[in-house]
Chain A
Amino acid sequence: MRLLRSLVKTVAAYALLAGSISFLAGAGFVNPYWVQILMLACIVAISAQGLNIIYGFTGLFSLGHAAFYGIGAYTAAYLMKTYGGQSQAAFLAALLAGGGASAAVAYLIGLPTLRLTSDYLGIATLGFGIIMKVVFDNADSFLPELGGARGMTGIAKMTTIPWVIFFLIVSLLVVRNTIHSRYGRAILSVREDEIAAETMGIDTFQYKMVGFVTGCAFAGVAGGLYAHLYTFLHPSNFDFFKSIDILIIVVLGGLGNMSGTLVVSFGWIFLLEGLRVFLPPGYVELRWVLIPVLLIVTMLLRPQGIFGAHEFPFLRGKGAR
């Protein structure tokens, strides 16, 4: 019964959000440019929610999130371009394949590194991110469609408001329901004290792996959505600095805080783009001075993140335990 009710609520929220935004955009009330930015913000929120699982909840320091985002983007774009055409079903399949590809690579990286302490994962993912950038730069040498350093073009514009809202809601549901389960508490205990978790009978390696792989799968799906939003992929969209952007979002929102990650993802994207509008031409690059200042000020005033331990009601656990 409760399941049915929450399902109805979720579908209603989805219909309302997707419907109203699509209507506003379609009727011309909102500038198409801002609609695109809104979609980008949703996509970044999905990816950031993935890093939130990895770093915020499981406590694994990963510096290569953009590489997994890129793997998903290129995989989905390649599959869609080669086999998909314009079909919506194929698009869904391509997005899931992108997520799957990121998850598979994450698994391979996790095998040797997750047995070690978290610092090693940080170093390994940092190196992996740099390697992937080089791979993307030279991807045309093994698959000409990927375009390499010239960028990949000719991707169908498939990403729409309903798609991004759908995946955003799914990602939030997955994180919320996992974290408030027995499984989620095991993941949190690994973050708190690995040895103690192990002495509770928790297979810490397995739980770290699940956290890492799930988070990277989120990044992969988000990457696929990104590819079909801008219809053009370039390796520089997936370099080290893009990983840092997502890391900043997760830290600013408060580690292990879903609401914070969600709000800061939107704030981050709209701030970046808003400053582009409000700063006088020629001073746009001042964004990269203002944002670090903002970051420093926030960390001094709210080291626990903007949201601290507070969650939006719809992201809280059922509490009835």
Chain B
Amino acid sequence: MLLCIENINVYYGNIQALHDVSLTVAKGEIVSLIGANGAGKSTILKAVSGILTPRSGRILLADKDLVGVSPHRIVRMGVSLVPEGRGIFANMTVRDNLEMGAFTRNSREEIEKSVAEVFSLFPQLRERASQSAGTLSGGEQQMLAIGRAMVAKPDVVLLDEPSMGLSPLLVRDIFLLIREINRAGTTILLVEQNAFMALSVAHRAYVLETGAIALTGIASELRQNAKVRAAYLGDVAE
């Protein structure tokens, strides 16, 4: 297992947000976390990326424990977060944003190569390379956020709600790109409200309910599961 979360308990102050959550992500997988608002999906990503520290439990990245390691070190260990709301640097140009993504890398040529790769993946971004990132549309900003994470050459990308605020057409584009990035060898842990899209792109999925894992399985099987269909896919009970 590339990423292995074992029985973490995470709190916001005195309020427990995650109860004994365990999950695994194998190399090359897309694993999706679905669940209602406030179920704790984003909290898991925050714990993995080091923004929140679990009170107990372990988070293993290829056998190295990430608990207590600060976020900027975790990036260097190969885990990149695309935060909810994208977190792009609005006053910097698109190109500067991408180069910030490569902050942990040193070789100028390698960085140029990665930036070029992102531009070929997202041609719209190349056209806007010297424009300031705040002027991009929502979809372009999401592409930039994903591209910026890719420039760091991570082993695992944590995607927090990539479909948020995007039109259905753009959501489809973004998910096609997620699949493409995964095929090129990047492991993905995806948090998503849009359960239908998430289950169609992921290999496996976990269903979260009030801070605990309620259900897990192969994504295509979960899509057929009556409970999941009723709760998250808007299926009317037959």
Contacts and interface: CB of A to CB of B under 8 A. Distances in A.
Interface string A175-199: 0000000100110110011011111
B91 interface: yes
Given A185-B99, A189-B100, A199 B49 contact: yes
Given A185-B96, A185-B99, A201 B87 contact: no
Interface string B59-90: 00000000000111001100011010001111
Nearest to A186: B103
Given A188-B92, A189-B89, A201-B103, A196 B83 contact: yes
B104 to A, nearest CB: 4
Interface in B90-141: 90-92, 96, 99-101, 103-104
Contacts of B197: none
B72 A202 contact: yes
Nearest to B158: A199
Contact of B72 (A185, A188, A192, A204): A204
A200 B152 contact: yes
B201 interface: no
A200 B103 contact: yes
B51 interface: yes
Contacts of A197: 100
A203 interface: yes
A201 B91 contact: no
Q: Interface of chain A, helix or strand or loop or mixed?
A: helix
A40 to B, nearest CB: 33
What band does the interface of chain B fall in when counting residues whose beta carbon is under 8 Å from A? 20 to 34
B103 to A, nearest CB: 5
Determine the interface band of chain A, counting residues with CB < 8 A from chain B.
Answer: 10 to 19
B89 A201 contact: no
A198 B90 contact: no
B60 to A, nearest CB: 20
A199 B100 contact: no
Interface in B135-160: 148, 152
A192 B80 contact: no
Contacts of B90: 192
A200 B100 contact: yes
Contacts of B76: 201
Contacts of B152: 200-201
A286 B103 CA distance: 52
B88 A196 contact: yes
Contacts of A202: 72, 100, 103
Contacts of B91: 188, 192
A75 B39 CA distance: 57
A186 B90 CA distance: 14
Given A185-B99, A189-B100, A204-B72, A199 B92 contact: no
Interface of B: 49, 51, 70-72, 75-76, 80-81, 83, 87-92, 96, 99-101, 103-104, 148, 152
9 contacts: A186-B103, A192-B89, A192-B90, A195-B51, A196-B83, A196-B87, A197-B100, A199-B87, A202-B72
